[in-house]
Amino acid sequence: MFLRRQVPFFITVVVALIMIIAYFTPHPTISPVRNKLQDWFMIIAAFTMIVGILSLIKVNIKKIRTASAGSDKIYSLVTLSSLFIMIFFGLLPGAGGINNSVFKFMFNHVMVPLQATMFSLLAFYIASASFRAFRAKSTMATLLLITAFIVMLGRVPFGRFISGPHLSNITEWIMNVVNMAGQRAILIGAALGVMATSVKIVLGIERSHLGGE
């Protein structure tokens, strides 16, 4: 239990302190240590991808073994087949790696269209969610509805046709001032949340990443 909880916690604290000190202290002796730790982070990130691939294989093999003949089994077979085909041609010696013709064909004619399909379905989902959200049941919902109507109308040629450049200028002001202020507030809040969580991890208050409660 000591090795599983205390040693990872000690490594986390030491690495965090080194990175913080290196950020605020431009001392030449600590900068190489920070760069080395960043290189190790990239290596660990690469291994997490390997763990993710192994988990994907394990889950889909389990589905193939347990599921009856149906869509789940077919989708799992397609997923695993696509995974191994892309890995094989991407790592095939002397074939150019990711510049391999089969690899590029699979990526450009299978992966890219699938991504476009997912984003197109996401557009319909957003439209449906917007229709439900833009019901003027309160003051804030009414403001949201009016603002969205102005922005959407200012983004299409019909808005310029009926109002000239005025509606387009209002839309640009909403996007560059009001919307940007909201985005920055959200980013600041998220950054403060990350900082608070990091401090709790360094101080040992938050230990969920170690398997604790």
pLDDT tens for 146-169 read 888 888 888 778 777 777 778 888
Question: In this structure, is residue 164 part of a structural domain?
Answer: yes
Q: Is the pTM of this model over 0.75?
A: no
Read off the pLDDT of residues 160-200 as tens digits, 9 standing for 90 and up: 777 777 888 888 899 999 899 999 999 999 999 988 888 88
Please check whether residue 154 lies inside any domain of the structure.
yes
- Report the distance separating Cα 143 and Cα 121, nearest Å: 27
What is the pLDDT confidence band of residue 14, given thresholds at 50, 70 and 90? confident
Residue 200: give the domain boundaries.
Answer: 134-207
Distance CA 210, CA 213 (A): 9
Number of independent structural domains in the chain: 1
Asked if residue 11 belongs to a domain, the reply is no
**Dihedral of alpha carbons 138, 141, 143, 149, sign:** negative
Query: Has residue 75 been placed in a domain?
Result: no
